[in-house]
Structure 1
Amino acid sequence: MMFTRFTEGARRAVVAAGIHALDAGRPTLDAAPILLGLAEVQPFALKHFTADPADVRRLAGLPDPRALLATLGIDLDEVHRRTRAGAEDPRRWSLRRSRVRPLRVTLYGPLGSLPLTPAARKVVEVAKSRPGPVTGERLLWGLLADGGNGARRILRAAGVDVAALVREAAIPARRAA
């Protein structure tokens, strides 16, 4: 079980990411929903992480169907309360590596399962790369370690001073290849 080293906040952020990906109809979990999960849960006290979850959602291309459904008289939050009781509880979710395909990591929960994309798997692997608990800061480090996953672009577009955030979170500088 990969979640054993995760703090409660880091687990909640990954679970929120999985729920967002499932709600968006995505077949996999990638880096953008993880960033949105971090923005919503905020499992850290970083003053430079100023991204508004609504901005991250929009910039990450994760539509929020609430407004559209409201025009039809449907309260999505009420639907979720009635049909998803306990689904957001991180204890009901697990993150596991396949024994047969060791590069395949999957998030399993009461709403479904999602294989992690290579970018999302890298987030988790970087976060777990040092001894100790996997925290929200470490997940953020995992997101920012890969310049190709779009997290930096999304944070900048959301008005975050990424350089100041990296310094505040004590994220090691990227090494030149």
Structure 2
Amino acid sequence: MFARFTEGARRAVVKAGILALDAGRPALDAEVLLLGVAEVRPFSLAAFTASEADVRARVDVGDARSLLATLGIDLDAVHRRTRAGLDAPGLWSLRRSRVRPLRVTLYGPLGEIPLAMHSRKAIEVAMWRPGPVTGEDLLWGLLADQANGAAAILRDAGVDLAALIREARVPTRRTA
């Protein structure tokens, strides 16, 4: 499935997977996928005004850094030493199960994690258009489903959703 993804879009999904694995989550949720997009920023959308910190404050991925810091351990330094190069997008794959077609799993050197329903839907919407899957497409996939909470997180972080949708050229539902 990653064959159509641009390097930036792939890095965002891999970053989200690593965050979910580090947090001990059973699946990669849409809110963590949004955090991966906010951290990597695989686009140059001026209307995406939420910072990584803004999104992280609204997404629970655990707080191991502060806990380990009280023991004098710098988690970022540990990750740099032990995970050098393991976050390279080329080492990761996104595959649909042949037996269970609704199950999509992210596989990589740090582990494997299935995509939760809403994040799977976001990926499938992003892949709906022909051509490469970009960061804007990932954002479109996240914003297409109001039930996944991504729009609410961005709204709470102060993002003007109407401006973001216009700039990212996200298709909107037309009423008759």
- Which TM-score band applies after superposition, normalised by the shorter structure? over 0.9
Structure 2 unaligned regions, length at least 5: none
Runs of 4 or more, structure 1, over 6 Å off, are none
Deviation at 1:64, TM superposition (A): 3.5
Q: TM-score, normalised by structure 2?
A: 0.96
Q: Give secondary structure in 1 for the equivalent of 2:45.
A: coil
Distance in 1, matches of 2:72 and 2:173, equals 49
CA distance in 2, matches of 1:78, 1:45: 29
Distance in 2 separating the partners of 1:67 and 1:56: 18
Report the more deviating stretch, 124-133 or 58-67: 58-67
Counterpart in the other structure of 2:145: 146
Partner of 2:76: 77
SS state at 1:123 partner: helix
Q: In the TM superposition, what whole-angstrom CA distance separates every residue of 1:39-60 from its partner, at most 9, and x where no partner exists?
A: 0111001000011111211201
In the superposition, relative to structure 1, how do residues 175 and 30 fare at CA in structure 2: closer, same or farther (>3 Å)? Answer: farther
| Residues 99 and 80 of structure 1: CA distance in aligned 2, closer, same or farther (over 3 Å) | same
Matches within 5 A, 1:25-104: 25-104=24-103
Q: Percent identity?
A: 71
The answer as to 2:158 corresponding to 1:159 is: yes
> Structure 1: any 5+ residue segments left out of the alignment?
none
Query: Match of 1:114, SS?
Result: strand
Tell me which amino acid in the other structure corresponds to 2:42. Answer: P
In the alignment, is the contact (CA less than 8 A) between 1:97 and 1:103 conserved in 2?
yes
Mapped to 2, the partners of 1:158 and 1:92 lie a distance apart of 32
Q: Which moved more, 1:49-58 or 1:118-127?
A: 49-58
The count of residues paired between Structure 1 and Structure 2 equals: 175
- The one-letter code matched in structure 2 to 1:100 is V
**1:157 & 1:88 partners in 2: Cα distance?**
29
Give matches, 1:108-119, under 5 Å: 108-119=107-118
Amino acid across the alignment from 1:86: G
Report the TM-score, using the length of structure 1 for normalisation: 0.96
The answer to whether the 8 A contact 1:57-1:63 is kept is: no
Choose 91-100 or 54-63, whichever is displaced more: 54-63
Let me know the Cα RMSD of the aligned residues.
Answer: 1.1
